[in-house]
Copies of this chain bind each other. A is one copy, B any other.
Amino acid sequence: MDYISRFRVEPGSQVDLSKIDASFKDQHESHQHALPEIETYRQQLADLQYLMYAENKRSLLICLQGRDAAGKDGTIKHVLGAMNPQGCKVAAFKVPTREEAAHDFLWRYHRATPAKGEVAIFNRSHYEDVLVVRVHNLVPQDVWSQRYAHINHFEQQLADSGTHILKFYLHIDADEQLARFKQRIDDPARHWKISDSDYSERPLWDEYTTAFEAALSQCSTPHAPWFIIPSNHKWFRNLAISRIVSETLSALDMKFPAPTVNINEIRKKYHQIEKGESPS
C-alpha cells in the first residue's frame, strides 16, 4: 500500500476525523513484526538526509501537530533522531516570547525554516495560530479566519524557493490520550512533564477537533500536504512517518554534487607529497 496517497489529505477535501481509525496498523501484527521495516526506513532517512546536505540545493521542513500526548516528542526521538544532527534542527514553539508576540504571527516560524541542504523539524508550528489560538479566542475570528490563506501563501513561497514541506497530524483518540496521561502519573520519572493543561484542555476536545479539521481541510496543498497518521500505536506512527519522509526524499532523485576541483590534479599532488616533493 502506498502510504503517501493512503494518508495524505486530498487538497480541497473535507476532513472528518471521526471517520479515521486512530488504531490502524496495516498488515502488521505487532511492534516486533514491524521493527525490521522501521529500521530500514530509518537507515534510508539517514542516507537521504546526508545526500540532501551534500547536494545543498533544497531543504525539508517537517511539521508535527497533534493533541497533547499524541507523540510529537516521541516521533522526533525515534524517527527523526536517525538523522545526523549536523544538518538537522528542531524548533519547538511554546507560548510566544515578548519579542515574538510583537511581530506578525508567521515571523517566528519563518526564522526557523531550513537553509539549503538542511532539515528543520517543527514541534508544533504556525498551525498553533489557528488551533489553540482559535479554540481559546486569543484573537478575534476575523483575524484567525484570514490565517489559513496566509499560511497557504507562506508555504507556497517556501516551496517555490526549494523547501519541501511535509505536515503530519498525529491522530489519537480520547481513550488513548487518557491512557497516556495515566501512564505519566504512574511513572515518577515523568511527573515533571505533567501540566495542568493535560486535563484542563480535555473538555475542549470537540473544539480542538473542529479546529484541526479546518486546518487539515483548508491547508493541505500539493506543495505542502497534510498527512493524518494513525498514532494510537506508537510503532505504527514511527513506521508510517519514516516511510513517508523516506519515500518523499527518495523521489527527489538527488545527486552528490560534481567535484569543485580537478581530481586528477589532486591525485598527482598527493603522489608528490608522498615522495617528499613539494607539490607544484
Interface residues of A (CB under 8 A from B): 54, 73, 76-77, 80-81, 83-90, 92, 121, 123, 178, 181-182, 185, 188-189, 191-196, 198-199, 202-203, 256-261, 263, 266-267, 269-270, 273-274, 278-279
Contact = CB atoms under 8 A, between A and B. Distances in A.
B84 A259 contact: no
A195 B83 contact: no
Contacts of A182: 270
Given A278-B203, A279-B202, A121 B192 contact: no
Given A89-B90, A185-B270, A188-B256, 6 more contacts: A81-B84, A81-B85, A85-B121, A86-B123, A181-B270, A199-B270
A191 B54 CA distance: 11
Of the listed residues A92, A121, A193, A199, the one surrounded by the most CB atoms of chain B closer than 10 A to its CB is A199
Chain A binding site: helix, strand, loop or mixed by DSSP? helix
B273 A192 contact: no
Nearest to A188: B256
Given A85-B89, A86-B73, A121-B85, A195 B260 contact: yes
A266 B194 contact: yes
Given A260-B195, A266-B199, A84 B89 contact: no
A199 B85 contact: no
A194 to B, nearest CB: 6
B259 A194 contact: yes
B84 A77 contact: yes
Given A192-B256, A192-B257, A273-B178, A185 B81 contact: no
B86 A77 contact: yes
B189 A256 contact: yes
